[in-house]
Amino acid sequence: MKIIGDYHTHTPLCGHAVGLPSQYVEHAITMGLKEIGFSDHAPLLSHCDPKITMNREQLPLYYEMIEDVRQRYAKKIKVKIGVEADFLPGFEERTKELLKSYHFDYVLGSVHFMGRWGFDDPAEREKWTSKDINRVYRDYFDLLRRSARSKLFDVMAHVDLVKKFNNRPTEDMTGEVQKTAKAFKDSGMVVEINTSGLRKPCKEMYPSLPYLKIYCQAGVALTFGSDAHLPGHVGKDFDKGVILARQAGYKEYVVFKRRRIEKRIKI
């Protein structure tokens, strides 16, 4: 279990994470990880919210902060510079421009918004009560497919985040996930096992085992992420993540460099 890289970690620049990047790196070393990638929330292009993402002026600082730990820890661990960017319909061109202004090792794509509704934001949780849950799930998977087709991202993050508050659909979503997995495969998109769901009301990793099997069968490659918003969560529950990956049929995961798959590593 010492080979896994954690590709989903944050920094205080997003306004809702704590700890210095060096503390995240130190914890990764303690956990025996060989690689850590930072993927803090990239500036939102639709609106500004200092509690959700860094702003545009902070992006150079973010890059410098991670470049600094990359160099300082080079002998102990590989540090990759990524970013987690929102898929916002209508903002594709601006997102593309933002992402190409830096040499990122990888870009995580995320769907956190349906229109202006931040459906996974605890502050907007009560809006779920007025929603048709099946409809929300179908809209969510549609946004994932559009994210993949946009080719803006390398890895899609937490691909069933819609279950976060444990709102479960009454209809079977297997067909939606199959279509989504095919869209990922067709656009070379990678999927992640995100262990943070275990710490949320849904109490399971993203995605669930039945969904992950569908991605594996479709031939979609895999990364691992803790979605750490504090240093102690780096690499958290990766033992369970590896079990889930193997149960789904995965035999390897991938690491990125300069937005290309650098290596495939056996699990």
Binding region for Zn ion (CB under 5 A): 157, 227
* Helix, strand, coil share of the chain (percent; to 5): 40, 20, 40
Specify the amino acid at residue 177: V
Least gap, CB of 197 to Fe ion (angstroms): 11
Strand partners, 187: none
User: What is the size of the binding site for Fe ion (CB under 5 A)?
Assistant: 3
Whether the CA torsion 142, 259, 118, 191 is positive or negative: it is: positive
Closer CB to Zn ion, 33 or 155, in the complex: 155
- Which of residues 155 and 249 has its CB atom nearest to Zn ion in the complex? 155
Q: How far is the CB of 83 from Zn ion (least distance, A)?
A: 11
- Using CA atoms, how far apart are residues 259 and 222, in angstroms rounded to an integer? 15
Contacts for 112-119: CB closer than 8 Å, 24+ residues apart: 112/86, 112/161, 113/46, 113/86, 113/88, 114/139, 114/140, 114/143, 116/46, 116/47, 118/52, 119/162
**Nearest residue (CB) to Zn ion, 213 versus 233:** 233
Token pair 């009454």 in the structure block, residue: 170
Residue 227 is a binding residue for Fe ion (CB under 5 A): yes
Q: Residues 108-127 vs Fe ion: string with x where CB under 5 A?
A: --x-----------------
The answer to whether the CB of 225 falls within 8 A of the CB of 8 is yes
Write down the least CB distance from residue 227 to Fe ion, Å.
4
Q: Which stretch binds Fe ion (CB under 5 A): 21-29, 65-73, 103-111, 148-156?
A: 103-111
Question: Closest approach of Cβ 226 to Fe ion, in Å?
Answer: 9
> Shortest gap between Cβ of 118 and Fe ion (angstroms)?
10
154 binds, among Fe ion, Zn ion, none (CB under 5 to 8 A by kind): none
120 binds, among Zn ion, Fe ion, none (CB under 5 to 8 A by kind): none
Binding interface with Fe ion (CB under 5 A):
84, 110, 227
